[in-house]
Amino acid sequence: MPAGGGHTVLVLMLLDTPSLYFRAFFGIPESIKAPDGSPVNAVRGLIDMIATLVRQHSPAELAATMDADWRPAFRVAAIPTYKAHRVAGTGRGGDQEEVPETLVPQIAVINEVLDALGVARLESPGYEADDVIGTLTHQASGAVDIVTGDRDLFQLVDDSRPVRVLYTARGVRNLQIVDEAFVTAKYGIPGRSYADFATLRGDPSDGLPGVAGVGEKTAAALITRFGSLAALLEALDAGVTDGFPAGSRTKLSAARDYLNAAPAVVKVAPDAPLPGADLTLPAKPRDPEALVALADRYGLDSPLNRLLDVLGR
């Protein structure tokens, strides 16, 4: 990311790893197998994604964030429907996410590969990868690139630092650069207001109901008029009528309990507890022997060589 005066800004790249390995799993045929016949499509796909990202964006630091808890208790307590439609069952560790059977063992392999490479792999008990990303972004002193297919993380864009999202909806080779201008152009809201907008509109994919009868246009009009959800609720409670689209005050009043609870669900945590970690992009593998063993066992020579070539530049 160039800066003024011809200098290069040192960038911290944060990977929403679950978003990426799910994309790899569904985008690459399961016929891609290890020598023992087990599918490795998600593993190979993720390695190639990282190689492409590093080659194209040259980050100085890199962290692969993980879900320690894909459906945190604090979010379920606030909004019980949160991701409820994706619960496969309940085990000793809590609700189990519905994950394709052939993806589950690949996640363990991904973890081993990242560790052998020396790519920082971070998670926080009781939090999602989004929260780890939010915390690392909050802690970062410079530029941050967040790689994800999840629009929830649009809430973190901040042109002043800059923090932007590299959005993977069209693929890692055809990323959409999401900054404040993108958010404003796409949704008609101030660039840093995505979380408040999403709270009003809701998100069925996460089981977030939103305010009944308030769609995208009304949500955008309300956030643009009042500037934030907090200011909107202050005006609502104070009996202000100006600036509310027809019928919206009644709908917002009926959803007051939801609007009190939802921000804790929608906003990513800026303070998830994280272990200390070296986020420097590794120039060579941390554990070469382990990496060779993984490459041999799972047939990963080609993608790992492509990634190692990029890391070694």
pLDDT in tens, 235-269: 999 999 999 988 999 999 999 999 999 999 999 99
**pLDDT tens for each residue of 154-185:** 999 999 999 999 999 999 999 999 999 999 99
Residues 17/65, Cβ–Cβ less than 8 Å: yes
Beta-bridged to residue 39, according to DSSP, are: 33
| Residues of each domain in the chain carrying CATH 1.10.150.20 | 194-266
> What letter does residue 267 receive in the DSSP assignment?
S
Nearest residue to 42 via CA among 63, 64, 20, 62:
20
- Report the predicted TM-score, pTM, of the whole model to 2 decimal places: 0.94
| Residues of each domain in the chain carrying CATH 3.40.50.1010 | 7-184+269-291
Domain topology for 7-184+269-291: Rossmann fold (3.40.50)
CATH architecture of 194-266: Orthogonal Bundle (1.10)
Residue 39, by phi and psi: left (phi above 0), alpha (psi -120 to 50) or beta? beta
**Is pLDDT at 20 greater than 70 in this prediction?**
yes
Name 311's Cβ contacts closer than 8 Å, sequence gap at least 6.
54, 117, 281, 282, 283, 284
- 3-class SS at 177? strand
pLDDT score, position 8: 60
